[in-house]
Amino acid sequence: MNKKIFVEDLGRRDYKETWDYQELLFKQTLDQKVRNRREDTAQPTQNHFLFVEHPHVYTLGKSGDIANLLVDEDQLAAKGATFYKINRGGDITYHGPGQIVGYPILDLDNFFTDIHKYLRLLEETIIATLAEYGLKGDRSPGETGVWLDVGTPFARKICAMGVRASRWVTMHGFAFNVNADLGYFDNIIPCGIRGKAVTSLNVELGVPQVDLEEVKQKLLKHFKTLFEAELIKEKTEA
């Protein structure tokens, strides 16, 4: 099993461009798995982890309800936002500046073949990172992602998740609000869940900004430990 994961920070990048890049890496891994089976070889498949910040964008998962987008095309344009219907699980979510988006493209045959365990470990990566800032992140029964004050009237989501998997290869991932403009969430029913708020790390800490690079390093530390992986950082061409 190949537990090496190539880590790439794409900086701020258009959603569609990043989605295409994910699809390329995803297809390369799937194609290698098909060749291995067809030719009875054991060439290792590669694993990737992408960090990115997106310009304002709303994305709707394949099982989502378009009614959860509360603005029309003209209003989207006025807000400088775009919209895509995509092939991950989950409903509607928002990505934008100040949010750390993580896209692990892993061959789970290299780790464990259990998609529920995979999601729980992604959540645990966020929970462990929040703990370093003195916050108690938690899971909400029946709802993916990471929340604060679960089970109270003040429950609020700080990290959304939605993944796709085929032949145990994953794509898409998590969106962690660090310095996010929460006003953009007013234009949707986040994840199709009514009556629950959304928050951001800087709001919870009562500071204007949290160092994004510091948060990324904490995320990688916990991700590496939880997945028992070796991380290899790659330079990204501008």
Enumerate the active-site residues: 191
Q: How far apart are CA 172 and CA 227, in angstroms?
A: 17
Neighbours of 222 (CB within 10 A): 18
Q: Which residues contact 176 (CB under 8 A, 6 or more apart)?
A: 99, 100, 101, 102, 126, 129, 146, 158, 159, 201, 215, 219
Q: How far apart are CA 223 and CA 113, in angstroms?
A: 17
